Amino acid sequence: MDFDLTEEQSLLKDSVERLLADRYDFEARKRHGQHPEGFSPEMWRAYAEQGLLGVPFAEEEGGIGGGPVETMIVMEALGGALALEPYLATVVLAGGLMRHAASAEQRAAWLPELIAGETRYALAHHERQARYDLHDVGVSARRDGAGYVLEGEKSLVLHGDSADRLIVSARTAGGRRDRGGIGLFLVDAKAEGVSRRGYPTQDGQRAAEIALSSVRIGPDAVLGAPEDGLPAIERVVDEAIAALCAEAVGAMDRMHRLTVEYLKTRKQFGTPIGAFQVLQHRAADMFIALEQARSMAFLATMMAGEADAQERSRAISGAKVQIGRSGRVVGQGAVQLHGGVGVTMEYSVGHYFKRVTMIDALFGDADHHLARVARMGGLIAA
C-alpha cells in the first residue's frame, strides 16, 4: 500500500509545518492561551490566509477540495504545535455537518465566512446524561409555524464560548434515546434565549455549557431532514475521531522527540542519562507505541470516507483504542524520563500529555471503543 503523499499534499504539509514552526513555539502558545477567547485570533486569520480553513471543502464552495488525508496532515501539525485554535470545532465538526447535512444553498450562504475565518462555528451536541451515546438527546425542538423553538441544555461544547454560531442537535420526535427524531439547527450564539458559560479544560482548550430557553429557529436554519440528523452526526464524529488520531500522533511524536533530546543532554554522574540501557529501553517502548498509533491513525484516515457506516465505525473505534493506549505509554514515559521537570507548568511535555489524555476521553475512551468493536464483532451482547 502506498503511503507517500502527492505533490500537493506535500506542499500542504510543508506550508502548515513552516507556519507553526515560525509562529507557534511553546512560549507563544502560553501567550495565546491568555487571550480572552483562549487562542490567537491572529493565528486563526493566518490559517484562513493559507487556506487551511478550507481544506475539506469543495473547490466550487471556496475550499481546496481536500479529503481525510489533507485533514490528517493539518491536524498532525496542529498536534505537534499543541495549537489552541478551534480547528476541530469549526472546520471538522461544524464544517463536517455542513458538508453532509446542509443544502447547497445553505453551504453557499455559510461556508464563505467560515473559510475566510470571519465566522466561527461549534457543534452543540453532547448532554450531561448521554456520556458517549450520540443518540441520547434531550434538548427539544418544538414546531412553531414553519420554524422551531429549542429548549434544553448542552454540555462540553468545544469552543462554544467563542463561537459565532452553533449547530445544535435537538429532538423533534420520539423518546430521549430513540435513534430517530433528531434534527440539526443553526443557531446564532447571540440569539435571544441562548446563554453560555465558558471555561478552560484541563488541556488548555476551551469549552462551554449552553442553555437554550425558547430559542426560535426559522425553517432556513434546519440542516437536512429535521428527524434524520443522527447518521450525519455519527459520520462527522467518526471523521472527528480520525482527525483527533492524527492530532494525537503529532503530539506523541513531539513528546518522543523532546524526551530523546533530553536523554542526550541531561547528565547524571557526569554521563548523559541516555547512556543507561534501561532508559534506552523505555524510549524504545515509547517509539513502538508511537508507530503503532501512527499506523492506526493512517487506517482511521483511510476509513473516514467509507460509506458503509458499520465498517467505518469498526475501523475508527479500533484506531481510537490504540491511540488511547499509545498516548498513555508515550505520555507516561515522557513525563517519567524527564523527572520532576516533566510535570511543571513551565515545561511543554506535561501539556502534551494532558492533551493526549483529553483526546483519549473525547468521543469515547479506549475502553468504550474496545467494547464497541467487540459488540460489532459479535463478541459481546449489544
Residues 63, 154: Cα–Cα separation, whole Å: 30
- Burial degree of 266 (CB within 10 A; 0-12, 13-18, 19+): middle
pLDDT tens profile 328-351: 999 999 999 999 888 899 999 999
pLDDT digits (tens, 9 = 90+) for 353-366: 999 999 999 999 99
Helix axes 7-23, 41-49, angle to 10 degrees: 160
How high is the pLDDT of residue 267? 85
Phi, psi values for residue 196, rounded to 5°: -130, 140
Give the model's pLDDT for residue 99: 97
pLDDT at position 41 over 80: yes
- pLDDT, residue 3, reads 73
Other beta carbons within 10 angstroms of residue 339's beta carbon come to 12
Residue entry with cell 462555528: 121
Those residues with Cβ within 8 angstroms of residue 181's Cβ, 6 or more apart along the chain or in another chain: 171, 172, 173, 174, 227
How do residues 181-225 score in pLDDT, each as one tens digit?
999 999 999 999 999 999 999 999 999 999 999 999 999 999 999
C-beta separation of 311 from 325 below 8 A: no
What pLDDT does residue 348 have?
A: 95
Helix H, strand E, coil C: the string for 174-236 is CCCCCCCCEEEEEEECCCCCEEEEEEECCCCCEEEEEEEEEEEECHHHEECCCCECHHHHHHH
Element (H, E) at 287: helix 277-303
pLDDT tens per residue across span 148-190: 999 999 999 999 999 999 999 999 999 999 999 999 999 999 9
Q: How far apart are CA 283 and CA 369, in angstroms?
A: 27
C-alpha of 364 from chain center: 12
pLDDT in tens, 116-143: 999 999 999 999 999 999 999 999 999 9
Which cell is 317 given? 473505534
Identify the three-state secondary structure at position 66. coil
3-state SS assignment for residue 120: coil
C-alpha cell at 22: 515560525
Distance of CA 357 to the CA centre of its chain: 13
CA dist., res. 189 & res. 167, Å (int): 10
86 close to 158: Cβ distance less than 8 angstroms: yes
CA dist 182 and 176 (Å) reads: 9
| Contact criterion met (CB below 8 Å) for 235 and 163 | no
Question: What is the number of alpha carbons within 13 Å of residue 35 lying toward its C-beta?
Answer: 19
- How many other CB atoms sit within 10 Å of the CB of residue 52? 26
Long-range Cβ contacts of 355-358 (<8 Å, 24+ apart):
355/79, 355/82, 355/203, 355/204, 355/247, 355/248, 355/251, 356/248, 356/251, 356/252, 356/255, 356/323, 356/327, 356/330, 356/331, 357/202, 357/203, 357/327, 357/328, 357/331, 358/201, 358/202, 358/203, 358/205
Report phi then psi at 179, rounded to 5: -75, -30
Strands 165-171 and 121-124: parallel
Average pLDDT over every residue of 24-53: 96
